[in-house]
Amino acid sequence: MEIGGADFIRGLALLGAGLAMGLGAIGPGVGEGFAAGKACEAIGRKPEEAGLLTRTMLVGQAVSESTGIYALVIALLLLYVV
Amino acid sequence: MFETIDYVQASLFFGAGVSMGFGAVGAGLGEGYAAGMANEALSSRPEKSGEVIKNMLVGQAIAESAAIFALVIAMLLLFSDTSGQPLLKAWAFLGAGLAMGLSAIGSGVGAGLPAGNACIGIVRQPASSNKILTTMLIGSAVCQTPAIFGMVIAFLLLFLDLSAIPLHPGWAAVLGAGLSTGLSAIGPATGEGFATMEAVSGVARHHETNSATNRMMLVGLGVTESTAVYGFLISLMLLFYGFEESHTLTASMRLLGAGVCMGFGGIGPGLGEGLTAASALRWIARKPEDTGTLSKTMLVGMAVAESTGIYALIIALLLIVVI
Amino acid sequence: MDELTNISQITYQLFGYDLVFNVETIMMTLIVMGLLLVFSFFATRKIYIIPHSVQVVAELLVNLFWDLTKDTLDEEMAKKYFPLIFSVFLFVVCSNWLGIIPKLGEPTKDLNTPLGLGLLGFVIAHYSGIKAKGIGGYLKEYCEPIFFMVPLNIIGELAKVVSISFRLYGNIMGGAIIILVVSNLVYSFVLPPVLVMFFGLFVGSIQAFVFTMLTLVYISLQVK
């Protein structure tokens, strides 16, 4: 199997894109789930504060997502730009 | 260097080893947890030993089933007929071993966790032992579905006639299919185990609300399963989408990248959504009148936690279809 | 699969540079603007004390966001920034929902729209920060807690823009890709509409809400 230079680079770039998004999805997934779980507990304790608790959960989850989005950006760059 | 049949047989044995090796991990962990909790339960009430040991054995049997699937695949691999198989089959055997072995990890753990909590719950409330057992059985059975996905992919890879797929890039498609289902089944199965564990404890504490708890448990388990379904979908696409023959590294790496991406990407959201369902179920059992607010928050939180799993699905689909 | 990679564009030459317009995105944005204008017109035409029809919906949304804004900023700051926050929410949620109508697509599917909205929030937040704290106080914030943190703080600010824009883009574009691929694979009447409902309505609303909340939080971080 003859592998040329440009082909080799593109091939490994695609594999890298897959690894980036794959591994990058692990952390935010677990973290956001844990945050949602604790929000459910808090709402169970005080259902009348549901609005404030849901809002805080969403903001916290959005910030936790940041690294997952960086992984998405790198994966898209590797797919389309490199 | 070697003959084709040497490669095929070598990967056959390697795949069998991988399958049983990984498959033993989950069942061991889960059954150990069940046994430990059974002893802790018995220490507070030794006279309930009959009930508790029966429950422990039932739960351990369910946890064992994923490892038995892995044993079946390993046996099939060991005694498979290798005469006249193309070189692509070597990669297929490796992929089959990975798919079954990795997916059995999560299911073993996920079925053992509720068994432990069921033993503790029975000792606390011996009158509701039937309800506890029912909840445990339902939840553990759903936890086995990711291992079943792995077994289906392993069977497809073992027995499907792959002569229509060219060797390059077929080798990456086949290996990626195995990795995608195998890896992405770990997270959801473990997460479903956490959720069922809390549901069983909840039913033990408040047995009169067990119907609401069971219903919400099934909803939570269904949503947590989604990333395993994405992994299964990408595996099926990698196996059945017609790829032309191409000797470039790009064509192979994009398929392997798609498999790896969805595989790893299914772990995190599955675990996280399981944790969400666990906490929500703990409070739904306590206060079923708040089920509306709690289930709404649970579903919204799960949907946001799913986002990174969806990003991984997007990148995998882009790699297979668009690039 | 060509629908993803064919982008109809018009290119003009200006002073030796190329001006490229994505026709589909501009048409969809104009449709969203038209829809929002019609909605506002009907909601405020005759204002009753006890609201009727369209006014109910409008009052519901306005109340929800007014409470949010008042909780995050002080009363007078909230009055100043509330129209911006609510307009951003209405625009994003209407854009995300436009994909449900056949033959129309969401303007947020093109990276330019979320990036533009993100930059809008970023510029407004930092401009308000400079106006509230003076240029000296604003620059001193970057040196917290130690002088060596300046490059990291600058990167952190840019990362905020990137993260909110790409989150919205990723979720909406991703939904469109998934629906496209699944419709090509499976011949079904039931599956594509269910997917469109989930990705368009549910995910679209949540992402619009998260985008608006984060813009509000970033403004409040700069202003307080």
Question: Which CATH number is B242's domain given?
Answer: 1.20.120.610
* In the predicted structure, residue A23 carries a pLDDT above the cut 90: yes
Q: Report yes or no on C178 lying in a domain.
A: yes
Of all residues in chain C, the percent with pLDDT exceeding 70 is: 97
Give CA–CA dist B245/B238, Å, rounded. 14
Structure tokens at A11: 């091939």
Query: CB within 8 A of A75, min separation 6: which ones?
Result: A17, A18, A20, A21, A24, B261, B311, B315
String of DSSP letters for B74-125:
HHHHHT---TT--THHHHHHHHHHHHHHHHHHHHHHHHHHHHHHHHHHHHH-
- List, for residues C64-92, the tens digit of each pLDDT value: 888 888 877 888 888 889 999 999 999 99
Structure tokens at A66: 């940041």
Mutation target for C interface from B234, B296, B322, B323: give the one with most C CBs within 10 A. Answer: B322
With CB atoms and an 8 Å threshold, state whether B307 touches C173. no
Neighbors of chain C with 3 or more C-beta pairs under 8 Å = A, B
- Over chain B (323 residues), the average pLDDT of each successive run of 10 is 84 92 92 92 88 89 90 89 83 93 93 93 89 90 92 90 83 94 94 94 87 88 91 90 85 93 94 94 88 87 89 90 80
3 state DSSP class of B225 = coil
For chain B, helix (H) and strand (E) counts, in that order, are: 13, 0
With CB atoms and an 8 Å threshold, state whether B304 touches C178. no
Q: Which residues of A touch C67 (CB under 8 A)?
A: 51
3 state DSSP class of C15 = coil
Query: CB within 8 A of B228, min separation 6: which ones?
Result: B145, B146, B149, B181, B184, B185, B187, B188, B189, B266, B270
Mutation target for C interface from B299, B310, B313, B320: give the one with most C CBs within 10 A. Answer: B310
With CB atoms and an 8 Å threshold, state whether A59 touches C170. no
What phi and psi values does residue C9 have, to the nearest 5 degrees? -130, 150
Of all residues in chain A, the percent with pLDDT exceeding 90 is: 39
Cβ atoms of C106 and C28 closer than 8 Å: yes
Q: What would the mean pLDDT of A50-54 be, rounded to a whole number?
A: 84
Question: What range does the domain containing B147 cover?
Answer: 4-322
* In the predicted structure, residue A82 carries a pLDDT above the cut 80: no
Model pLDDT, residue A37: 93
Give CA–CA dist C181/C173, Å, rounded. 12
String of DSSP letters for B247-277:
-SHHHHHHHHHHHHHHHHHTHHHHHHHHHHH
Model pLDDT, residue B260: 95
**Hey, which residues 213-272 in chain B have their CB within 8 Å of chain C?**
237
Minimal Cβ distance to B323: which of A14, A25, A40: A14
C-alpha distances in Å from residue C21, one per residue of C35, C112, C168: 22, 11, 21
Q: Which residues of C touch A36 (CB under 8 A)?
A: none
Give CA–CA dist B108/B61, Å, rounded. 10
Cβ atoms of C209 and B300 closer than 8 Å: no
With CB atoms and an 8 Å threshold, state whether B187 touches A29. yes
Model pLDDT, residue C59: 87
Q: Which residues of A touch C214 (CB under 8 A)?
A: 59, 62
Q: Report the alpha-carbon angle C169-A21-C173, nearest 5.
A: 20
Model pLDDT, residue C192: 80
Determine how many CB atoms are found less than 10 A away from the CB of residue B124: 15
* In the predicted structure, residue A1 carries a pLDDT above the cut 60: no
Model pLDDT, residue B242: 79
Determine how many CB atoms are found less than 10 A away from the CB of residue C19: 10
Q: Which residues of B touch A25 (CB under 8 A)?
A: 264-269, 308-309, 311-312
Minimal Cβ distance to A59: which of C162, C170, C213: C213
Secondary structure of chain B: what % helix, strand, coil (to 5)? 90, 0, 10
Give CA–CA dist A71/A77, Å, rounded. 10
Q: Which residues of B touch C174 (CB under 8 A)?
A: 310-311, 313-314
With CB atoms and an 8 Å threshold, state whether C203 touches B300. no
Determine how many CB atoms are found less than 10 A away from the CB of residue A59: 17
Q: What is the mean pLDDT of chain B?
A: 90
Q: Which residues sit opposite C18 in a β-bridge?
A: C13
Give the CATH number of the domain where residue A22 resides.
Answer: 1.20.20.10
Query: CB within 8 A of C143, min separation 6: which ones?
Result: C149, C150, C153
Q: Quick one: closest CA in C to A80, which residue?
A: C5
Q: Which residues of C touch A62 (CB under 8 A)?
A: 164, 167, 210, 213-214
When divided into structural domains, chain B yields a total of 1
Query: What count of CB pairs under 8 Å joins A to C?
Result: 34
Structure tokens at C169: 């883009």
Query: CB within 8 A of B249, min separation 6: which ones?
Result: A3, A7, A8, A10, A11, A12
Q: Which residues of B touch A26 (CB under 8 A)?
A: 187, 264-265, 267-268
Model pLDDT, residue C2: 55
Residue C3 pLDDT level (bands cut at 50, 70, 90): low
With CB atoms and an 8 Å threshold, state whether A69 touches C214. no
Q: Kindly tell me the burial class for residue C177, based on how many C-beta atoms sit within 10 Å of its own C-beta (0-12, 13-18, 19 or more).
A: buried
Structure tokens at C92: 């994003």
| Higher-scoring residue by pLDDT: B189, C10 | B189
Q: CA of A75 to nearest chain C CA: how many angstroms apart?
A: 12
Query: What count of CB pairs under 8 Å joins B to C?
Result: 33
* In the predicted structure, residue A2 carries a pLDDT above the cut 70: no
Determine how many CB atoms are found less than 10 A away from the CB of residue B166: 18
Question: What range does the domain containing A67 cover?
Answer: 5-80
Q: Is A58 on the interface with C (CB under 8 A)?
A: yes
Fill in the DSSP letter of residue B128. Answer: G
Model pLDDT, residue C115: 93
C-alpha distances in Å from residue B98, one per residue of B13, B192, B194: 12, 22, 24
Question: What range does the domain containing C214 cover?
Answer: 25-223
When divided into structural domains, chain C yields a total of 1
Model pLDDT, residue B211: 85
- List, for residues C148-187, the tens digit of each pLDDT value: 878 878 888 888 888 889 888 888 888 888 788 777 777 7
Model pLDDT, residue C1: 54
Model pLDDT, residue C117: 94
Give CA–CA dist C127/C132, Å, rounded. 9
C-alpha distances in Å from residue B141, one per residue of B63, B136, B194, B227, C193: 9, 8, 14, 18, 30
Residue C34 pLDDT level (bands cut at 50, 70, 90): very high
| Higher-scoring residue by pLDDT: C15, C38 | C38
Q: Which residues of C touch B237 (CB under 8 A)?
A: 185
